[in-house]
């Protein structure tokens, strides 16, 4: 039996892990899928002040309140920022970090600082012109690699705007180097933003690396493969 904490990316909520959660719990594992403040069923709490630190504290609170240890902590996309911050605060509760097509920040890096400047500027402009100056509308499901009509309609019903300060705030401290790490790269179609991490980590012996031939929202499009990798990584 292994305990997993699965952290969703921008615009999503804990709901997005339902397919993976079923497979993991069917195999007698324990799974937590916290929803970050201002997103998912907590969208009514959205406000301009929400930042990366808010979301890090959301997950730290789950680890501490539930008294979790030996956790496989998984972060999808934006949540690579979150789990890195969590690991800096609660490393003794974590057995392995898994970055699922996610940002892998160093101390002092924000999400925006890891993007090409033109893409970061386009996001800032969208926030100012369409997001009341503080929130970013979700990307369409197709851009997240979701192609089936049923899944596309499901995401369209649940994706919500992201408080933009979560993208702007720099990570104060990186995850401790001693923690085992895994990177899962979603390469078909690749989203682009995560190619540099895949290129750097593919041959890095300090990392375990997986290339999954699916789109960015792999927990939706390839839940069986993701669950299988997560269980294998727990045994690694």
Phi, psi of 184 (to 5 degrees): -115, 115
Assign domain 3-235 to its CATH architecture: 3-Layer(aba) Sandwich (3.40)
Distance CA 204, CA 65 (A): 35
Do the Cβ atoms of 146 and 137 come closer than 8 Å?
no
Mind telling me the catalytic residues?
Answer: 77
pLDDT, residue 236, reads: 82
What pLDDT digit, counting tens, does each position of 78-124 carry?
999 999 999 999 999 999 999 999 999 999 999 999 999 999 999 99
Share of the chain above pLDDT 90, in %: 97
Q: Across residues 144-159, what is the average pLDDT?
A: 97
Domains in the chain: boundaries = 3-235
What pTM was estimated for this model as a whole?
Answer: 0.97
CA 130, CA 123: separation in Å to the nearest integer? 10
φ, ψ at 119 (rounded to 5°): -70, -40
- Report the pLDDT averaged over residues 118-133: 97
| Measured distance CA(82)–CA(86) in Å, rounded | 6
Q: Are 146 and 152 in contact (CB under 8 A)?
A: yes
- 223 closest CA partner among 24, 4, 5: 24
Give the up-direction half-sphere exposure of residue 187: CA atoms within 13 A in the CB hemisphere.
Answer: 14
Note the pLDDT of residue 234.
Answer: 92
What is the rounded CA–CA span in Å between residue 151 and residue 188? 17
């Amino acid at each position: 039996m292994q305990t997993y904490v699965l952290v969703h990316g921008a615009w999503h909520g804990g709901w997005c892990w339902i397919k993976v959660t079923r497979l993991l719990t069917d195999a007698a594992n324990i799974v937590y899928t916290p929803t970050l403040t201002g997103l998912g069923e907590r969208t009514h709490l959205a406000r301009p002040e929400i930042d990366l630190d808010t979301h890090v504290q959301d997950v730290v609170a789950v680890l501490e309140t539930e008294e979790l240890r030996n956790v496989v902590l998984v972060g999808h996309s934006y949540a690579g920022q979150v789990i890195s911050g969590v690991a800096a605060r609660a490393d003794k509760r974590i057995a392995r970090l898994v970055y699922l097509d996610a940002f892998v920040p160093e101390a002092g890096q924000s999400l925006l600082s890891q993007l090409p400047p033109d893409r970061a500027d386009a996001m800032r402009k969208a926030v100012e012109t369409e997001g009341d100056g503080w929130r970013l509308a979700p990307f369409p499901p197709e851009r997240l690699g979701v192609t089936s009509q049923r899944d596309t309609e499901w995401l369209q019903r649940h994706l919500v705007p992201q408080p933009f300060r979560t993208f702007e705030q720099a990570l104060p401290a990186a995850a401790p180097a001693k923690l085992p790490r895994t990177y899962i790269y979603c390469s078909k179609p690749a989203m682009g933003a995560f190619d540099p991490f895949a290129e750097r980590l593919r041959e890095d012996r300090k990392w375990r690396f997986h290339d999954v031939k699916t789109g960015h929202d792999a927990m939706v499009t390839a839940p069986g493969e993701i669950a299988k990798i997560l269980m294998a990584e727990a045994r690694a």
